[in-house]
Structures are given as C-alpha cells and as structure tokens.
C-alpha cells in the first residue's frame, strides 16, 4: 500500500540524515568538494533505492550518451524532490542553484551547505540573476557543471512546462559551454509537498547539448526541447 510504503520510506530517509550529515561535516575540512559530492551521491543512491523498494518508484534514463565530457549547464523541468536528488548522481562535480531557505533545514541543510551550492533570494530576482551568472561562471571555469531549474519553482505535472529564465542561455554564451536539456515525469509518482508516494517508473530523458551565440535563442532552444519531449513522456 502506498501509505505504508511512504511511512517506512520517510522514517528511513530522516534517520539516514543523521549519519550522512555527521560524515559530511567530519570530512568537510579534509577532502575536496568533488570527493565530498561523491560521498553524498552514495547516500542519494541508497535513498533512491529505498524509494524503489518501499514505494515502488523506479527510473529509466534515456540519452546518457548525450552527456558531454566538459562541464555544462544542466537545465531540467522541476516537479519535486526526486530530480533534485537524482541529477546530483549524474553530474559530479556540480553546483546546484537552490533557494537559500534550504540551507536552514536541520541536518539536510547543514550537509547541503558543504556541497557549496549557489543560493538565491527569490524576492530579489535581479540580484539573484547577477549572482548566478557571476558565481556560475567561476564554478564552470573550475570544472563544475551547473544544475538549475529555469522554471524557478516546482510545477505540477498537469501544468506542463513553464517559461525558462534566461540564466541558462547567459551562462552558456558567456562560458562557451553547452546547455544540456533534461525532462522527466517524476511528479507523477513523488508529488510535490505530498506525503504519499505512488509506484511507477520515472522517465528521465537527456537531450543533445545546445550551443549558440545568442543567450535568448539558447534558452528558447532548451525550453522547446524540454517542452516537446515532456509531452512524449508525460
């Protein structure tokens, strides 16, 4: 039953936060961010496999061959927590663009801070955009991919794909590195802000890298790819 599976998974998830947070905090001063992310990705894989066992949520990834050997700007639709976790196992090292409030969550936020994300103040979109571009370019030069959700917030699966912020196009053109478009349907099974999780298979599709000289065109190309491919998997 979805209810029982969800209860067991949530108990497992929150209990597992205690040891992984202790491990990450103890290693923070001694190993690189890249290696710290490798440690974190092991925990994420354990959590996702627990999700599969207890709640019946599996996944299928299409287009892995499209992931470039260089750092890239990963753009994905955003429906819930699943993709926030899963993408961090595909791209190491990477920097996630997150709302600053996540850092204040006990245990989870402490460990997340050690991964050096770029935080946003969603009440000030102009300064946040400047921060993403400035810090994002620095991280890209250091070999980190950037993971961002250009819709700006979590969107219900039945509402399709909403407009993209131009940050992905600006980062791509200024850095000379590609945007990698991704779409998925995770919100059908792990619904945003809902306790009960439903069994099924998340399909995550990775498109071909996108490059260009005009930021708006790059952003529009990424948006159109995600929108069109989401229709096929939703």
Please work out, in degrees rounded to the nearest 5, the angle formed at the alpha carbon of residue 29 by the alpha carbons of 27 and 31: 60
State the pLDDT at residue 62.
98
Confidence of residue 15 (pLDDT cuts 50, 70, 90): very high
Confidence of residue 107 (pLDDT cuts 50, 70, 90): confident
The domain spanning residue 136 has which CATH number? 3.40.1130
Span 48-77, pLDDT tens digits: 999 999 999 999 999 999 999 999 999 999
Span 131-150, pLDDT tens digits: 999 999 999 999 999 999 99
Which stretch of DSSP H or E encloses residue 24? helix 2-27
Lookup result for tokens 């053109």? 173
> What percent of the chain stands above pLDDT 90?
87
Outline where 28-75 has alpha helix (H): 33-55
3-state SS assignment for residue 63:
coil
Cα Dmax for the chain: 51
For the cut 80, the answer to whether the pLDDT of residue 125 exceeds it is no
Lowest mean pLDDT among 8-17, 61-70, 77-86, 113-122: 113-122
Span 175-219, pLDDT tens digits: 999 999 999 999 999 998 899 999 999 999 999 999 999 999 999
**Interatomic CA distance for residues 33 and 102, integer angstroms:** 19
The domain tally of the chain equals 1
- Domain hosting 211: range is 2-233
**Mean pLDDT over all residues of the chain?**
95
**Interatomic CA distance for residues 150 and 97, integer angstroms:** 10
SS3 content of the chain, % helix, strand, coil (to 5): 55, 15, 30
**Interatomic CA distance for residues 40 and 119, integer angstroms:** 19
For the cut 90, the answer to whether the pLDDT of residue 80 exceeds it is yes
State the pLDDT at residue 227.
98
For the cut 80, the answer to whether the pLDDT of residue 124 exceeds it is no
């Amino acid at each position: 039953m979805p209810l029982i599976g969800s209860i067991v998974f949530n108990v497992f998830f929150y209990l597992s936060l205690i040891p992984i947070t202790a491990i990450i905090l103890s290693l923070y001063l001694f190993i690189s961010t890249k290696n710290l992310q490798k440690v974190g990705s092991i925990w994420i894989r354990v959590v996702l496999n627990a999700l599969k066992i207890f709640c019946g949520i599996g996944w299928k990834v299409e287009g892995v061959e499209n992931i470039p050997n260089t750092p890239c700007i990963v753009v994905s639709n955003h429906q819930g927590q699943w993709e926030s976790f899963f993408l961090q196992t595909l791209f190491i090292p990477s920097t996630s663009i997150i709302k600053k409030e996540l850092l204040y969550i006990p245990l989870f936020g402490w460990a997340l801070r050690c991964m050096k994300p770029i935080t946003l103040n969603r009440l000030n979109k102009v300064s946040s955009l400047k921060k993403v571009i400035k810090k994002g370019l620095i991280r890209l030069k250091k070999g980190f991919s950037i993971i961002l959700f250009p819709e700006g917030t979590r969107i219900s699966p039945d509402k399709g794909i909403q407009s993209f912020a131009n940050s992905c196009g600006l980062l791509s053109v200024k850095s000379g590195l590609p945007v990698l478009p991704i779409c998925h349907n995770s919100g059908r099974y792990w619904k945003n802000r809902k306790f009960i999780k439903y069994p099924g298979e998340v399909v995550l599709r990775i498109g071909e890298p996108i490059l260009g000289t005009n930021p708006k065109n790059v952003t529009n190309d990424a948006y159109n790819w995600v929108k069109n491919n989401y229709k096929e998997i939703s």
